Each structure stands twice: as structure tokens, then as C-alpha cells.
């Protein structure tokens, strides 16, 4: 009867990344790192997992000879985020009862 | 946020409450990153204001026949503004939906100005050109002000709708002064206030 919390999103750093990307059109890897205070290594592992799940889109390009990674949420990611928030609400309501 | 321990991410299960709190914190962080730049308001505001006044003085006091040459400052302004925005785009690390909307709004207004210049030089419309320019300032500043929630810009925009309506009653010389007044109210004053707000926020 309970929706299970999406294991891809139910991880602090991945959830932080997706919550950030929900609010913006796109963001650079460095921006995400600044806002989440995560280490580059950990963040790139989690970004990769989100990308493999199809929740985010990652583009790598060169800007003024520097590699630049840009992340953007996909429609599938938005859907998953909404479902996750809905499931959270269910849990919280039960907690109140 | 800084004390979240991502290291134990995989093992540590966190509660729905913590989850929700994290989502809220991150969403708030993206809100703060909408840095609105007063450069365009101040740059275009002062440029147009000075052009209006200079043309008025040349026309009325010096009876100079080629007074409209001052508007060659506009394409030059366009180049400077373009260089500024391309440099800024290189430094920008994220794009919010509001920034994207603002960008398209001002691109549309910029194109409208080009179209109006074309109409003005190919017809007699230049006589009342400022009425329509002021209407454009009104749309741009009103919508921008609402999007970034900055009241002086909204008020400037609303006042410009009124000035546009009044300006049609004036001859070309009067229209120049109306244009100067409109840009002062909708660009220059809100632009300086925005700069002050930004600087106090930063410190």
C-alpha cells in the first residue's frame, strides 16, 4: 500500500542535486558542488548514477579551453522527483496519525 | 547544509522529514542565485536619457538640422551591451527559468526597437515614435519588475504606461522630453536602487 521511496533519489547527495536542478534550467558541475558542499569525487559518482537512471542530462564541452560539465534535469527526472515527494507526503501523513 | 555528511551516504538512511528539509534547503539556494544585473538598466537608461536631452538642445537651442544623428549611439550601445552579455554568459554557472524568461523578453523588445526604427525612417511615424518606445519601456520594466519582485521597476513600468498615453499629445520636441522623463523613471531610478540593493546584500 505504500509507495516505496525511489532508492535513486533517497540518498542525500543525489536528492540534493535533483532538488537543485528542479529550480534551474541548467547548472554547471562547479555550481552544484558549491551549493551542495560535496567533494568533486563523490559528486561525480552520484551525478553519473543519476545520469544512468535517466534523471539528468550531462553535457561536456569546452569553454575557453576549459572542460565544462553542465547538468540539466530530464522529464523523467521531474516525474521521479514528483513521485518521490508524493511518497514522502504519504509517509509524513502516516507519521502524524 | 554544510554539515550534511555525504560520506556515509549509502549506509545512512534518512527520515522523510530530513528528506523534505533537504529539498527545501536546496530549492532556497537556487532562489538566491538569481542575481539581477543593474548594468543594462543603467547603461541603456543613461544612454537614451543623454541622447534625448542632447537632441532636444541641438534642435531647440542650436537649430541644428541634423539633430537626429545622436541616435547613432544606439547601435554602438548595442555592441557594448552585446560584448558585456557574452562575457557575463561565460562566467555564469547556472541559468534559472526567470533569467531565461527575462532574456527572451528583452530580446523581443530589442527586436521591436529595430522594427520600429525601420517603420520610423520609412514613414512619418517618427513624429510620435517616443509614444511607442515608452510603451516598450513600460512592458519591459513592468514584466521584469514582477519577475524579480522589485517594486521600483514595477512602479516605473506602470508610470510609463501613463506617460506613453500622455506623450501622444506632444510634438516631437515634447516627445523627446517625455522620452527622457520615461527612461528616468523606469530605468535610471530603479537601476540605481537595484544596484544599492545588490551591494547591501553582498556586504
Question: How far is A12 from chain B, CA to nearest CA, in Å?
Answer: 6
In a domain, B44, yes or no: yes
Burial status of residue B89 (CB atoms within 10 A of its CB: 0-12, 13-18, 19 or more):
exposed
CA distance B142 to B186: 9
pLDDT in tens, B10-64: 545 678 888 888 998 888 887 765 556 789 999 999 999 999 999 999 999 998 8
Best of A21, A25, A28, A94 to mutate (most B CBs within 10 Å, chain B)? A25
Q: What is the mean pLDDT of residues A20-26?
A: 90
Q: What is the mean pLDDT of chain B?
A: 88
Complex ipTM: 0.85
In a domain, A60, yes or no: yes
In a domain, A7, yes or no: no
In a domain, B114, yes or no: yes
In a domain, B72, yes or no: yes
Contacts of B19 in chain A (CB under 8 A): 5, 10, 15, 88
> What confidence tier does A94 reach under pLDDT thresholds 50, 70, 90?
confident
User: Is there a contact between B190 and B156 (Cβ–Cβ < 8 Å)?
Assistant: yes
In a domain, A87, yes or no: yes
In a domain, A3, yes or no: no
Domain that holds residue B137: 38-202
In a domain, A2, yes or no: no
Q: Which residues 32-91 in chain A show a CB within 8 A of chain B?
A: 34-39, 42, 46, 63-64, 85, 88, 91
CA distance B203 to B188: 23
Q: CB distance A85–B23 less than 8 Å?
A: yes
In a domain, B157, yes or no: yes
In a domain, A97, yes or no: no
How many residues are there in chain A? 97
Asked whether residue A21 carries a pLDDT value surpassing 70, the answer given is yes
pLDDT in tens, A30-80: 999 988 999 999 999 999 999 999 999 999 988 777 788 999 999 999 999
User: Is there a contact between A71 and A35 (Cβ–Cβ < 8 Å)?
Assistant: no
pLDDT at B18: 87
Q: What is the mean pLDDT of residues B156-176?
A: 95
Contacts of B12 in chain A (CB under 8 A): 12
Domain that holds residue A65: 12-91
Asked whether residue B97 carries a pLDDT value surpassing 90, the answer given is no
Asked whether residue A96 carries a pLDDT value surpassing 70, the answer given is no
Other C-beta atoms closer than 10 Å to the C-beta of B172 total 16
CA distance A67 to A50: 20
Domain count, chain A: 1
Question: How far is B35 from chain A, CA to nearest CA, in Å?
Answer: 13
Considering only alpha carbons, which residue of chain B is nearest residue A9? B19
pLDDT at B203: 62
Indicate which CATH number applies to the domain containing A50. Answer: 1.10.10.10
Q: What is the mean pLDDT of residues B90-110?
A: 88
Q: CB distance B33–A88 less than 8 Å?
A: no
Q: CB distance A37–B1 less than 8 Å?
A: yes
pLDDT at B33: 59
**Identity of the residue in B6, B13, B20 whose CB atom sits nearest the CB atom of A38:** B6
Kind and range of the H or E run holding A8 = none
Q: CB distance B93–A91 less than 8 Å?
A: no
In a domain, A6, yes or no: no
pLDDT in tens, B102-138: 989 999 999 999 999 899 889 888 888 999 999 999 9
In a domain, B82, yes or no: yes
Question: How far is B84 from chain A, CA to nearest CA, in Å?
Answer: 16
Domain count, chain B: 1
Least confident of A62-76, B138-152, B161-175: A62-76
Contacts of A64 in chain B (CB under 8 A): 90
In a domain, A50, yes or no: yes
In a domain, B15, yes or no: no
pLDDT at A97: 61
Asked whether residue B3 carries a pLDDT value surpassing 50, the answer given is no
N- to C-terminal Cα distance for chain B? 21
Amino acid at each position: 500500500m505504500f509507495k516505496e521511496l525511489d532508492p535513486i533519489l533517497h540518498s542525500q547527495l543525489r536528492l540534493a542535486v535533483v532538488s537543485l536542478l528542479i529550480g534551474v534550467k541548467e547548472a554547471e558541475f562547479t555550481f552544484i558542488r558549491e551549493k551542495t558542499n560535496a567533494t568533486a569525487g563523490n559528486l561525480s559518482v552520484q551525478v553519473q548514477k543519476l545520469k544512468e537512471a535517466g534523471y539528468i542530462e550531462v553535457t561536456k564541452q569546452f569553454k575557453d579551453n576549459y572542460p565544462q560539465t553542465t547538468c540539466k534535469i530530464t522529464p523523467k527526472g521531474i516525474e521521479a522527483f514528483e513521485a518521490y515527494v508524493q511518497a514522502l507526503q504519504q509517509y509524513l501523513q502516516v507519521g502524524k496519525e | 547544509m554544510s554539515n550534511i555528511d555525504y560520506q556515509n551516504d549509502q549506509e545512512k538512511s534518512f527520515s522523510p522529514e530530513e528528506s523534505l528539509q533537504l529539498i527545501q534547503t536546496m530549492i532556497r539556494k537556487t532562489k538566491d542565485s538569481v542575481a539581477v544585473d543593474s548594468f543594462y538598466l543603467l547603461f541603456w537608461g543613461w544612454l537614451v536619457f543623454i541622447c534625448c536631452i542632447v537632441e532636444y538642445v541641438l534642435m531647440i537651442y542650436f537649430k541644428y538640422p541634423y539633430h537626429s544623428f545622436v541616435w547613432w549611439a544606439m547601435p554602438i550601445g548595442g555592441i557594448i551591451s552585446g560584448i558585456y552579455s557574452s562575457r557575463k554568459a561565460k562566467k555564469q554557472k547556472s541559468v534559472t527559468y526567470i533569467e531565461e524568461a527575462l532574456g527572451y523578453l528583452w530580446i523581443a523588445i530589442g527586436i521591436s526597437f529595430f522594427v520600429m526604427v525601420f517603420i520610423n525612417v520609412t514613414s512619418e511615424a517618427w513624429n510620435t515614435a517616443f509614444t511607442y518606445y515608452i510603451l516598450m519601456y513600460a512592458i519591459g520594466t513592468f514584466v521584469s519588475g514582477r519577475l524579480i519582485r522589485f517594486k521600483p521597476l514595477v512602479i516605473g513600468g506602470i508610470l510609463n504606461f501613463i506617460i506613453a498615453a500622455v506623450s501622444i499629445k506632444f510634438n516631437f520636441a515634447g516627445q523627446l522630453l517625455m522620452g527622457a522623463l520615461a527612461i528616468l523613471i523606469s530605468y535610471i531610478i530603479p537601476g540605481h536602487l537595484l544596484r544599492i540593493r545588490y551591494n547591501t546584500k553582498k556586504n
